[in-house]
């Protein structure tokens, strides 16, 4: 099989919404993991589209240096890039990755409503959403997504995402799940590389909430991080792994706890990311499975790698089996290989 150089025309046509930290890193990942043909990328003030495939090398170099979609080849400047892109190109794409901030909680659910109600899109959407409230809002759009033939797979990052999906797998050894404990360690060199991620993490701190974090100026965030020596220690936070495992029928949301440490000044992880699944076997023995991620894997590798894997899975479910509506990563296994692996093996 030719996975290194697959026929671009047989790969799903992907559009990345949001050219910030994860959006830019997704361009870099696609250079090495050819799971999709990137045809569109947009940020607040511009979009770029190329039906033959966007040049990944040039795009990554330009975005990581200038962070401006306006400077890309085929760029269209616009005040409302999502609307203008979807009005023109909804029929030219198979998958959308929302690499967008979700501040406030309804931001991504509202964009989804717009896509459902005002565009002709009928493909796949994947996100790396983190908040329980936001996933609940999306779940309410299930029947509307079904009516428009969209399959939306939510919570496809690392946590929620890979770890939640791993819990679904680990649970199979047990007849009852007693607890799921997710602990994440994230290290990034500077918070400006992942603005939305850090704002959303600040929203979990004592005396903060989503509205307050959304309204903070960059200077206020700098000051807060300075006071904390760059560290955000988060305990028992509202994270969608709980609702996702409940919707998947693995355990009730109250059995799931999530916390971690984010170092905004050091790319080295402060602690190892892991998930502990404690359950009772059918022979009445209590036991734990533990899944720990390698410390060398970055947040971008763990989030975007899974986003691609879940996108592959969603495309197969949607295009080959006609699945539509709202599903979460806890209900699906990600697929490493491109969607049309069977075609590729014949090449």
Q: How many CB atoms lie within 10 A of CB 99?
A: 26
Binding to ligand NAD by residue 159, rule CB under 6 A?
yes
Candidate ranges 58-66, 95-103, 219-227, 290-298; the one touching ligand NAD (CB under 6 A): 95-103
In angstroms, what is the minimal distance from the CB of 150 to ligand NAD? Answer: 19
Binding to ligand NAD by residue 82, rule CB under 6 A?
yes
Among 6, 160, 185, 279, binds ligand NAD (CB under 6 A): 160
Which uninterrupted H or E stretch holds 262?
strand 256-263
Q: Could you give the CA distance from residue 268 to residue 166 in angstroms, rounded to a whole number?
A: 24
Q: Could you give the CA distance from residue 185 to residue 279 in angstroms, rounded to a whole number?
A: 24
Residue 186: exposure state from Cβ atoms within 10 A (0-12, 13-18, ≥19): buried
Q: Give the closest residue to 129 by CA, choosing from 151, 94, 103, 168.
A: 103
Binding to ligand NAD by residue 113, rule CB under 6 A?
no
In angstroms, what is the minimal distance from the CB of 195 to ligand NAD? Answer: 4
Count of alpha carbons within 13 angstroms of residue 180, beta-carbon side: 31
Of residues 211 through 270, those in contact with ligand NAD by CB under 6 A are none
Binding to ligand NAD by residue 81, rule CB under 6 A?
yes
Comparing CB distances to ligand NAD, the nearer of 95 and 99 is 99
In angstroms, what is the minimal distance from the CB of 299 to ligand NAD? Answer: 6
Q: Helix (H, G, I), strand (E, B), or coil: what is residue 316?
A: helix
Q: Give the closest residue to 167 by CA, choosing from 155, 156, 179.
A: 179
Among 70, 71, 78, 101, binds ligand NAD (CB under 6 A): 101
Candidate ranges 14-22, 26-34, 136-144, 277-285; the one touching ligand NAD (CB under 6 A): 14-22
Side by side, which strands form the sheet with 151-154?
75-77, 46-49, 37-43, 13-17, 95-98, 124-127, 151-154, 325-328
Which one of 25, 34, 37, 200 is the catalytic residue?
200
Q: Could you give the CA distance from residue 136 to residue 109 in angstroms, rounded to a whole number?
A: 10
Residue 204 annotated to the active site: yes
**Distances from the Cα of 138 to the Cα of 133, 134, 167, 181, 317, angstroms:** 9, 6, 22, 24, 19
Binding to ligand NAD by residue 100, rule CB under 6 A?
yes
What is the pairing mode between strands 13-17 and 95-98?
parallel
The 17-56 contact track toward ligand NAD, x by CB under 6 A, reads xxxxxxx------------------xxx------------
The 288-327 contact track toward ligand NAD, x by CB under 6 A, reads -----------x---x------------------------
Residue 130 annotated to the active site: yes
Residues 6+ apart with CB under 8 A from 210: 103, 104, 105, 131, 200, 203
What is the pairing mode between strands 95-98 and 124-127?
parallel
Binding to ligand NAD by residue 194, rule CB under 6 A?
yes
Residue 239 annotated to the active site: no
Binding to ligand NAD by residue 134, rule CB under 6 A?
no
Which one of 34, 37, 89, 130 is the catalytic residue?
130
Candidate ranges 2-10, 188-196, 204-212, 266-274; the one touching ligand NAD (CB under 6 A): 188-196
Binding to ligand NAD by residue 60, rule CB under 6 A?
no
The residue behind tokens 């979009």 is 47
Binding site for ligand NAD (CB under 6 A): 17-23, 42-44, 81-82, 99-102, 128, 130, 157-161, 194-197, 200, 299, 303
| Catalytically active residues, by annotation | 130, 200, 204
């Amino acid at each position: 099989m030719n996975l290194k150089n697959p026929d671009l025309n047989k790969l799903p046509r992907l559009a990345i919404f949001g050219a910030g930290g994860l959006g830019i890193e997704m361009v870099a990942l696609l250079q090495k993991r050819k799971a999709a043909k990137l045809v569109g990328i947009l940020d607040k003030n511009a979009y770029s589209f190329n039906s033959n495939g966007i040049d990944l090398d040039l795009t990554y170099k330009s975005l990581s240096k200038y962070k401006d979609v306006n400077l890309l080849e085929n760029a269209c400047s616009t005040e409302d890039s999502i609307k203008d892109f979807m009005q023109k190109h909804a029929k030219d794409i198979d998958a959308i990755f929302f690499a967008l901030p979700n501040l406030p909680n309804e931001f991504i659910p509202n964009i989804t409503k717009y896509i459902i109600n005002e565009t002709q899109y009928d493909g796949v959407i994947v996100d790396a959403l983190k908040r329980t409230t936001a996933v609940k809002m999306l779940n309410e759009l299930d029947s509307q997504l079904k009516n428009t033939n969209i399959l939306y797979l939510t919570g496809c990052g690392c946590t929620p995402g890979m770890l939640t999906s791993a819990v679904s797998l680990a649970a199979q050894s047990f007849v009852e799940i007693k607890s799921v404990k997710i602990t994440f360690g994230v290290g990034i060199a500077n918070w400006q590389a992942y603005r939305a991620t850090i704002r959303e993490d600040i929203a979990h701190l004592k005396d903060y909430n989503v509205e307050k974090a959304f309204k903070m100026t960059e200077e206020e965030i700098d000051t807060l991080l300075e006071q904390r020596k760059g560290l955000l220690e988060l305990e028992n936070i509202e994270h969608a792994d709980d609702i996702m495992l409940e919707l998947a029928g693995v355990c009730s949301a109250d059995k799931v706890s999530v916390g971690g440490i984010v170092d905004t000044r050091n790319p080295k992880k402060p602690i190892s990311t892991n998930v502990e699944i404690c359950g009772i076997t059918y022979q009445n023995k209590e036991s734990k499975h533990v899944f720990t991620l390698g410390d060398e894997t970055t947040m971008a590798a763990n989030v975007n790698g899974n986003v691609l894997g879940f996108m592959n899975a969603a495309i197969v479910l949607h295009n080959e089996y006609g699945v539509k509506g709202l599903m979460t990563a806890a209900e699906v296994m990600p697929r490493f290989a491109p969607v049309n692996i069977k075609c590729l093996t014949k090449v």
